[in-house]
Every structure is written in structure tokens, then in C-alpha cells.
Structure 1
Amino acid sequence: MSYPFPGTDGGACWVVVASLVPTALCLIIWKLWNMHNHSLRDMKCSLPLPPGSMGLPLLGESLHFVTMGANFYRKRLKSYGGVSKTNILGNPTILVLGAKNVRKILMGETSLVASYWPQSVRTLMGEGTVSHSEGPTHKTRRKSIVKAFNHAALSSYLLESQDIFRFYINRWCRQGTVLGFEECKKLSLRFACHVLIGFQISEKELGQLIELYAVFSDGLFSIPLKIPGSGFHKGMVAREKLMEKIGEFLDRRKEWSGPPDALTYMMKQSEEELSRKELKEVAMELLLTGHVTAGSAACSLLLYLGRNREVLDRVVEELRQHNMYDDVGGLTLEQLGQLKYVSNVVKEVVRIAPPVGGGFRKALKTFELDGYQVPKGWTVAFSIREAQEQSDIFPDGDKFDPDRWDDMTMEREHFFPFGAGRRVCVGKELGKLMLKIFVVELAINCRWNLLNEYPVIEEMPVPRPVDGLPAVFSSLQKLEI
């Protein structure tokens, strides 16, 4: 018998060869991956790429991004500073942290960057949504929906908003112990259905929508592979069911004779006639942004007010000063505008726990950030959460302190929980209004004890307590529903 190498055991040699070949292939693939990423830099620009890691071939650092959530940004900030490079969700990406840099990105719409979301988000949301439309289509749709959030429209939403909040607060007090996050999602989805879309739905249908949106939201930032059992595949299944449900609600909406809603305002002002598919996608987007982000912000209010009893006492004091504590009648915009401390509370909640923690853009041209190049065509991912929490103008940025807003003179440069520039959240005034009403109704009608004042917070896609925020509610007075 002959052996492949003189004086050696053939079997042992083949074991060595078999182990070396995969290792060599991995090294070659890794080298080619790094060469490919390096070639993506703009060679016409003398500035270097930011520091960072591009991760594994093809996958990049997508798994870390999806599993670590906000901690991914924090780790990058600690390791590489305010600007770094990576590869996530299939795209070479520049991560942008720090208030000055994030604001530059937000204000650079159409000049430096264009609106962009990962493929998983675009596919699940659909191209007919306002946030994903571009150019003239985006301008037209945004112009029409802005009318749904002007002073007159906001005034028309007040009474129904109060009724919804009181109904849920009363129910929480009757139940005693509730899961704050789950209840805030129900409250905000009911609010979105009635005030934004004009849907009148049953409690059973509300529960079905919440379950579908939970699966849908979990799939938004995922690897866009339709593998059965994956987050993206589950999200697509949930999307199909949501579109079917929303279609049913739209048909039923013709029979709804309640107060004006945002969708009605939008359709009256629209210069284009939306197809049924586009209308369903717009409704799905309004319901998503109107309850997922709003529910998260409402839950954060419960958490920080429950943890800081002295803040709630200050709210009560302000309401008494304006003769609003004992009057549970209809609020007006003018009354809410007088409540400076309530406004401070809302600002502080969305500063420390912004319901939308960040976003994505696409570089339209190569430009500079902190001495590094951001190459044309690369994705730009920015973090609002870290920018606001670690800004120099917010001493002790991780501390909940509504009083900090009394002396704030530069908030525009460092505070953008609803975005900024051309893509600023069109419903931000309604969002702030909803939170102010919620604070007032909580202060007037109930008290609550958190069973865990310092829960673990999962921050993607929105901040939410892992334990659901269990709390015990008790009524201060009999509510009139």
C-alpha cells in the first residue's frame, strides 16, 4: 500500500488536510470581504473611513444589531466614538452618534442624505406609506396629512381622547393589578383606531390587532429572509392578516358616524386619490405609529411618574393652581398650554426614553463627519436615544428631571425625539397632546404603585419593560364615563 507522503500515515495526513482547507477558505473569504468593504470607500475623497468592524462575510454585524438593540450603539460609542463603520442588514453602514452629528443628518435631507429604511422595514411597511414615499408623492401626502394635525383638528380630538383615557384608567382601578405596558398598548391602539382612523372595533378585535402588531413590529428590524419561523417571515404573515383586517374595518368605516378623524381630514385635503391598497397601507402605518410608539411613551410616563412620586405631586399642584384638579370636564388646548410643568414632564419622558430611538438614511454624496468620510451610497444609521441622553447640555442625562427644562435655551440643537428637518414626525403635536392629557387624567383620577420600579428595558423597536410593568391602581374618585 502506498501513502500520500513518504514515511507518514495517510489517514493522519488527510485529517490534517481536511482541517486546513476549510480554515484556508475562511481566511480567503475574510480577506476578500475586507477588500470588498475597503473598495466601497470614495477614493476621490482624501478623508479616511471611520474606525469600526464590518463583521462576518455577508452577515456583517446584523446578528449583533438585531439581538443587542440599543446596546449595540452604546458599545460602538465606547469602542469607536461618535462615528464608526459597520455592515448591518445587508448594507455597509456608518453609525452616527452625538447630538451635533445626528442633527446634521436629520437636517441634511435632500442635500446630504435621503430617507431610507432597511429592506425588512420597506417590505413589511409597503411602499404606499407616507414615511417610505419619495419626491412629489411624499410632498403631496405629507401636505394632505398635515391638515389632520392643525389647531382646529387637534381641538376636535380632545373630547374623545379624554373619554378613552378615562375609560381605561377607570378599568385599571377596578382591576387593581395590571401590566402597564400591555394596557398602554390597548389604550393607545383604541386611541389610534378612533382618533386617527375612525374605526369602531370590539374588544376582541382590539386584542387581535395588538397580537398581530406585536409580531409585525418584532419583524421590522430583521434579516429579510423568508425562512419559515424567522422574525421576518412571521412579520410578513402578520402583515397579510393586518391588511385583511384593515380592509374589513375600512368597509365598516362607512357606517361610522363618530367625530372627525385624522384619515378623514387627510382624504379631504389630498390632491390624489389613493388606491385601496395604498389606503390600507396608510391606515396600517397610522395605526402602527399611533399605538406602538404612543403606547411606549405612555408606559414610560407610568414608569417615571410611578418611580418619582414628587413629580406627580408637582403635577397635582400645578393643576390646582389653574383650577383644573377638581374639574374633570372637557379640556381645551388653551388650558393644556398653560401647564408648563406638565409640558416639562412630557419633554423629559421623550428625552430619556424616546419612542423612536433612531433611524436610517442613505448618503446622496460623500460628506464629512468628525474628520471621516461618509461615502456616497452607504447607509447612515443614527441614534436619537444616545444623542439626547449624552448631550453636554443635559447634566446627569440618565436622571429623570423635569425641572431641567425651566432653563433650557438650546433644546432644538440637542432635543429631537420626533426627528427634525423635512422628515420630522408629522403627528408630533398630537403625540405631545396625547401625553399631556394622559398625565392630567392620571393625576386627577388615580394613584398607582409599581411592583418593580427598575425593570429591565428592551429598547428595540421601542422602549418597553421586559416584565410588562406590573402596577397596582386605585381610584381617587368615581369617574364619569
Structure 2
Amino acid sequence: MGIPILGESLQFLHKKAKFFEEKRKEHGNIYKTHLFGRPTIRISGKKNLEKLFAAENKLLQSLGFFLFQACKAKEELKNLFLKRIKEDGKSCSQQFPAVLEKFCKSQNSEFDNDDLLNGIFELIFNAGETTSTSAMCALIHLSKHPEVLEKLRQELSNVDLLAPPEENNNSEVEVTAEIFSKLPYLDCVYKELLRVTPAVGGAYRRVLKTFELEGYTIPEGWTVVLGIRDTHELDSNLDDPLTFNPDRWMQADSSKISFFPFASGPRRCPGKGYAHLILKLFIIKLCQQCNWTLSEPNPEMVAMPTPRPKNKLMCSFNQREYNKE
């Protein structure tokens, strides 16, 4: 458990994700440690995570690090934004960022000022870091797997999303829900991207009451880290869980694959729908418009705090020429 008070915090800060990897290899899916003054248990495994995510607010509760200060700051910012909206003299609907306006229309509902402000906070604070990380990982995976990129482009071509605008009545095809339903391979690529490189490696919870799991006692008041990345990487249902292979999601038994990039249960990430939309549109635009080259063809990645190249990585973009055969 490490030295008094600090526990194993120094080892964790030095090794980062490798700290958990070494512990897991030595102790298995459930092991205890002591991090930042808290006795901590890390838990991995598909069945374990399904059970515990479903037990939110019964066995576990989301950790409220600096919750009071964060809520107070959020209210102060909301008041500042609301004041600016009123000063502009425009209605709430005229202030919507484009993506929120689209969402509002898709729901066939009217949003008030509070909805607008909550949407802005969702975009700024919850989705920005993780979605940009996943977009970067998409560039890397598709660069390393040109056969996947080619298969994506063929699927887009089948629904006229790869044709130049002048061959499509001089207007770009609008990507509707119906169009998305005709792009099953895009959905496979999206899922595999988040399976291999989940933006969040673990979910931190506090134990509300003592319970048993795999013969271990999980004490009340302890911190639990639900190992999302560990569970993906050690998926016993896959022969090659570390390999980027979107085709695996086309199999009939794909529901058995471990997949928790947005957690699960009552506390599932509220930005799931936003990430789903933005990442798929990003991949579509990449396929439509760009060819790109990485300065390092196979960059070494680190996993914490979010997946990123260990060394500086440059990317050169070129406009893709349409095939007019």
C-alpha cells in the first residue's frame, strides 16, 4: 500500500497507466492500493463493470472532487453568460451554436435560456477534451490502416457522400439520420476507435456500503476505480483485443465485446450523443476532403490523462482529389 499518507501516489504519478498495468498483471482484476490519501480498489472485467455501473447510487456514488466549488463557479459563469445574452437583445434561439440548433430541431422542442446555457457548458467542459482526443486518435488509426480508410470511402461513395458537389446538384449531401443508418461500417470504425483508445481510462466512485465481489470485500467509504481501458484491453471474448479491427463489430456476437467508453448505467456520460455525432461527422469529412501523412507512421502512445502521442507528432494534410472515373 506504499508509504504512510502518500501510499503509492508517487509511483502512480511517475508510471501513470503502467502503474495500473503492473498491478493488474500481479494481482488480477481486483486489487487494492492507496492513492492521494484514499484507500483505493481498482476493478476490471466486463461482468464486474456491468454490475457496478448498474449499481450507481446503490453501492457506488460518483466522487465529487471539489464539487461545491465547481457548482458555485458554474452558477457564476451561467449568470455572466445570461447577462450577455440579455445585453445582446436577442432571443435564446438566436444564440444557439449550430450543433445545438440542429439538436434542438431534431428533438422538435423549444429550448429556453437554461437549456442553452446547459448545452454550452456541456460543449465547453464535458466534450471538448475527450472528443478532440478521439478525433486525433482517428487520424492515427486511419493513417496506420489504409485498408480501413479505403473501405470507409467505398461505403460513403455508395450513398453519394464521396461525389464532388458539382455532380450532386451543386450542393453537398445533408448527413441525416437516414444516411447514418446506411453507413454500418462507419459505425464499426467509430466503436473500434473508442474501444482501442477510450478517451477516459477509468471511472472513480465512492463505496456507499460494503459489498462482496469475486470473493473480495469492498469496504464502505473506499474509492473504487472502474478500469475501462483495462477491461477493453483484456477482453477474453477477443483473440486480439489490442488490434484495431473495425470488422469485429460486423460479427453476430459483437454484443459480447467489452465496450464502456462512456461508462454505463444511470451515470453514463451525458455527452455520448454529442461525441457520437461529432466524431462520425469528423471521420466523414476526413474521408471526403483529405489525405494526410503523419511525421511518425507508428507513434508511441501514452494513455493518461487521455490518449496522446508520447512525442511531438505532426500531421500534413492535402486536399483529396475526387475520382471522376
| Structure 1 Cα separation of the partners of residues 18 and 303 of structure 2 | 9
Matches within 5 A, 1:35-114: 54-114=1-61
Q: 1:122 & 1:71 partners in 2: Cα distance?
A: 29
Q: Is the 8 A contact 1:362 1:378 kept in 2?
A: yes
Distance 1:458 1:469 in 2: 13
Once residues 265 and 215 of structure 2 are traced to their aligned partners in structure 1, the CA distance between those partners, rounded to angstroms, is: 24
Q: Are residue 352 (structure 1) and residue 196 (structure 2) matched?
A: yes
What code does the residue aligned with 1:443 have? C
Question: Which sections of structure 2, spanning at least 5 residues, go unmatched?
Answer: 166-171
Distance 2:57 2:136 in 1: 35
1:73 positional shift: 1.4
Displacement of 1:430:
1.9
What SS does structure 2 have at the residue aligned with 1:106? helix
Q: Is the contact made by 2:160 and 2:173 (CA closer than 8 Å) also made in structure 1?
A: no
| Closer/same/farther in 2, CA of residues 268 and 360 from structure 1, 3 Å limit | farther
Q: Which amino acid counterpart does residue 125 of structure 2 have in structure 1? A: L
Contact 1:93–1:379 (8 Å) recurs in 2: yes
Evaluate the alpha carbon distance shift between residue 366 and residue 354 of structure 1 in structure 2; reply closer, same or farther with a 3 A threshold: same
Q: Distance in 2 between matches of 1:317 and 1:127?
A: 47
Tell me what 2:169 maps to.
Answer: none
The CA deviation string for residues 248-271 of structure 1, in whole angstroms up to 9 with x for no partner, is 65544454735566499699668x
Amino acid at match of 1:334: E
Query: Does residue 155 of structure 2 align to residue 318 of structure 1?
Result: yes
1:414 to 258, 267, 284: 258
Determine the C-alpha separation between the residues in 2 that align with 1:273 and 1:342: 34
Amino acid at match of 1:64: Q
Instruction: Within 5 Å, give how 1:420-459 maps onto structure 2.
Output: 420-459=264-303
Asked if 2 retains the 8 angstrom alpha-carbon contact of 1:70 and 1:459, the reply is yes
> For structure 1, which runs of at least 5 residues remain unmatched after alignment?
1-53, 129-239
Q: Displacement of 1:451 after TM fit?
A: 1.1
Work out the number of aligned pairs and report it.
Answer: 304
Amino acid at match of 2:229: R
Contact 1:113 1:364 in 2 (8 A): yes
Contact 1:297-1:355 within 8 A present in 2 as well: yes
8 Å Cα contact 1:316/1:443 also seen in 2: yes
The letter of the residue matching 2:203 is G
For 1:65 and 1:464, locate their aligned partners in 2 and report how far apart those are by CA, in whole Å. 18
Over the aligned positions, Cα root-mean-square deviation in angstroms equals 3.1
1:322 Cα offset (Å): 1.8
Do 1:366 and 1:375's aligned partners in 2 also have CA atoms closer than 8 Å?
Answer: yes
- Indicate how the Cα distance of structure 1 residues 461 and 288 shifts in structure 2: closer, same or farther if over 3 A, else same: farther
Report if aligned partners of 2:126, 2:271 keep a CA contact under 8 Å in 1: no
**Separation (CA, whole Å) in 1 of partners of 2:286 and 2:279:** 10
- CA deviations 1:133-160 (Å, max 9, x no partner) are xxxxxxxxxxxxxxxxxxxxxxxxxxxx
CA shift for structure 1 position 307? 1.0
In structure 1, what is the Cα distance between the partners aligned to 2:182 and 2:45? Answer: 33
Q: 1:458 to 1:395 in 2, by over 3 A?
A: same
Letter in 2 for 1:82: N
**Kept in 2: contact 1:100–1:413 (CA 8 A):** no
Shift in CA distance, 286/316, structure 1 to aligned 2, threshold 3 Å: closer
TM-score (ref. length: structure 2): 0.83
Offset at residue 330 of structure 1 (A)? 2.3
Q: 1:340 to 1:285 in 2, by over 3 A?
A: closer
Cα distance change of structure 1 residues 461 and 244 upon mapping to structure 2, 3 Å threshold: farther
Bigger Cα Rg:
1
Q: Would you say the 8 A contact 2:62–2:206 is kept in 1?
A: yes
Displacement after TM superposition at 1:298 (Å): 0.3
Letter in 2 for 1:107: A
Separation in 2 of the partners of 1:468 and 1:245?
34
Conserved in 2, the CA contact under 8 Å of 1:307 and 1:450?
Answer: no
Aligned twin of 1:48: none
Normalising to structure 1: TM-score of the pair? Answer: 0.57
1:138-190 Cα offsets, whole Å, 9 max, x none, are xxxxxxxxxxxxxxxxxxxxxxxxxxxxxxxxxxxxxxxxxxxxxxxxxxxxx
- Work out the percentage of aligned pairs sharing the same amino acid: 34
In the other structure, the counterpart of 1:115 is: 62
1:407 positional shift: 0.6
Aligned-partner SS, 1:314: helix
* Structure 2 equivalent of residue 374 of structure 1: 218
In the TM superposition, what are the counterparts of 1:123-142 in structure 2 within 5 Å? Answer: 126-127=70-71
Q: Compared with structure 1, are the counterparts of its residues 412 and 251 closer, same or farther at alpha carbon in structure 2 (3 Å cutoff)? A: farther
Contact 2:203/2:263 (CA < 8 Å) preserved in 1?
no
CA contact (8 A) 2:301 2:310 kept: yes
**Aligned to 2:203, what secondary structure does the other structure show?**
strand
Q: Distance in 2 between matches of 1:384 and 1:457?
A: 17
Following TM superposition, by how much is the alpha carbon of 1:246 offset from its aligned partner in structure 2, in angstroms? 7.7
Offset of 1:67 from its aligned partner? Answer: 3.1
Q: Which among 306, 314, 327 is matched to residue 143 of structure 2?
A: 306
User: Do residues 365 (structure 1) and 202 (structure 2) align?
Assistant: no
Separation in 1, partners of 2:68, 2:297: 38
1:321 is matched by which residue type in structure 2?
N
Cα distance in 1, alignment partners of residues 51 and 30 from structure 2: 13
Which of 333, 338, 342 in structure 1 is aligned with 2:177?
333
> Shift of residue 434 of structure 1?
1.0
